[in-house]
């Protein structure tokens, strides 16, 4: 399972928790402008915007989980099991894009959400696997640009759905309209202390800080994480400088992270937050932490040769260093 969010201070930030019970061997990958994306059903993309994000590189191809391009357009794919359904046959008069190509295709060609919407209207997603034995991931996507425009894309049996996303949040099942409707159940929650509207003739007291949020979900299910992330993001405040904003962003993701032992998936395995990421659309920096390394690590797309034609890979730093102060 996963949670993706956006956050706006002075600048715009985008990122996610990737929650699973094992790692894919992912790394931070920069795809320069002249790397050729070999496409399954349409023309290869030989020149494009540079991209940075978390990916599994196999057969010299970056299978991105989440990423940002040099124009500040960001995109993340999250599990959407038993709901995602792609086209099995060619659709004429449309650009046919394999689902694993979706993130690089959009980030290669688009710089704004308006451009994304136009591109989406001309394409379909296919269920073509990357390679034999690799089934297409059942995903839906959060996409946002640096101007804080945000959409959710879901491809189901009845085709593609593109939703404006006012929450800046995406988790997993159920489909996005149901997640959004479920927020109606929590509209009475607040960051302020509650006022007694229950029984004015009874002298009720606020015996603790934070009682305005009573009823806020705290479990790890996808609907609960959606509500918790939407609430936390809605009230989050930080200074507007980069360090403060990035720090706050990771605090938001921490509010819905998964700890080892709390989500048992059987056979002695537990789902955990393998990594958390933050894309800074103004600076071009991809920040990340991992389960065993809370120190924030930064990779700057602008420090790489963006006119190259070869992938640039940065292995994840995964071991915490504890600073002993005495």
User: How far is 265 from 289, CA to CA, in rounded Å?
Assistant: 23
Among positive and negative, which fits the CA dihedral 251, 153, 87, 63? negative
Q: Which residue has the tokens 């102060």?
A: 325
pLDDT at 85: 98
Spatial CA neighbour of 277 closest among 300, 303, 249, 258: 249
- Given this model, what pLDDT does residue 132 score? 84
Asked whether residue 196 is domain-assigned, the answer is no
Return averaged pLDDT per consecutive 10 residues of the chain, 326 residues in all: 96 98 96 97 97 97 98 98 97 97 98 98 97 91 98 98 98 98 97 93 94 95 98 96 98 97 96 98 98 97 98 96 93
User: What global pTM score does this model have?
Assistant: 0.96
CA 141 to CA 101: how far, in whole Å?
Answer: 13
Query: Which domain range does residue 247 map to?
Result: 2-184+223-314
Residue 156 in domain: yes
- Report yes or no on 209 lying in a domain: no
What is the C-alpha to C-alpha distance for residues 326 and 217, in angstroms, rounded to an integer?
A: 40
Q: Does residue 208 form part of some domain?
A: no
List, in order, residues 6 or more apart from 44 with CB less than 8 Å away.
36, 37, 38
Q: Which residues are catalytic?
A: 2
Q: Is residue 10 part of a domain?
A: yes
In a domain, 151, yes or no: yes
Domain count, the chain: 1
pLDDT score of 302: 97
Locate 232 and state its tokens: 């936390």
Is residue 213 situated within a structural domain? no
* 23 belongs to a structural domain: yes
Per the listing, tokens 């690799």 go with 134
Please, are residues 117 and 151 in contact by the beta-carbon 8 Å criterion?
A: yes
* CATH code of residue 116: 3.60.60.10
Element (H, E) at 245: helix 242-254
């Amino acid at each position: 399972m996963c949670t993706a969010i956006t956050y706006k201070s002075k600048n715009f930030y985008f990122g996610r928790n990737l929650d699973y019970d094992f790692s894919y061997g992912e790394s931070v990958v920069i795809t320069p402008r002249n790397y050729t994306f070999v496409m399954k059903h349409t023309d290869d993309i030989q020149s494009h915007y540079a991209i940075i994000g978390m990916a599994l590189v196999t057969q010299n191809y970056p299978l991105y989980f989440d990423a940002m391009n040099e124009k500040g357009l960001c995109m993340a794919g999250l599990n959407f099991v038993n709901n995602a359904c792609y086209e099995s046959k060619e659709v004429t008069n449309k650009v046919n894009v394999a689902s694993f190509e979706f993130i690089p295709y959009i980030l290669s060609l688009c710089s704004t959400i308006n451009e994304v919407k136009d591109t989406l209207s001309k394409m379909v997603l296919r269920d073509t696997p990357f390679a034999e034995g690799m089934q297409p991931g059942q995903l839906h996507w959060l996409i946002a640009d640096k101007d804080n425009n945000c959409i959710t894309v879901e491809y189901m049996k009845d085709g593609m759905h593109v939703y404006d996303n006012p929450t800046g949040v995406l988790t997993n099942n159920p489909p996005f309209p149901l997640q959004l409707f479920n927020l109606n159940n929590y509209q009475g929650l607040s960051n302020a202390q509650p006022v007694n509207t229950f029984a004015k003739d009874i002298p009720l007291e606020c015996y603790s800080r934070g009682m305005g949020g009573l009823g806020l979900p705290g479990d790890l299910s996808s609907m609960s994480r959606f509500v918790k992330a939407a609430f936390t993001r809605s009230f989050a405040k930080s200074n507007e400088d980069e360090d403060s904003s990035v720090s706050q962003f990771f605090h938001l993701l921490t509010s819905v992270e998964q700890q080892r032992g709390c989500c048992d998936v059987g056979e002695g395995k537990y789902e955990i937050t393998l990594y958390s990421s933050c894309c800074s659309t103004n600076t071009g920096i991809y920040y990340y932490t991992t389960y065993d390394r809370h120190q924030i690590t930064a990779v700057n797309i602008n420090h790489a040769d963006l006119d190259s034609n070869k992938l640039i890979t940065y292995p994840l730093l995964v071991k915490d260093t504890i600073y002993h102060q005495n």
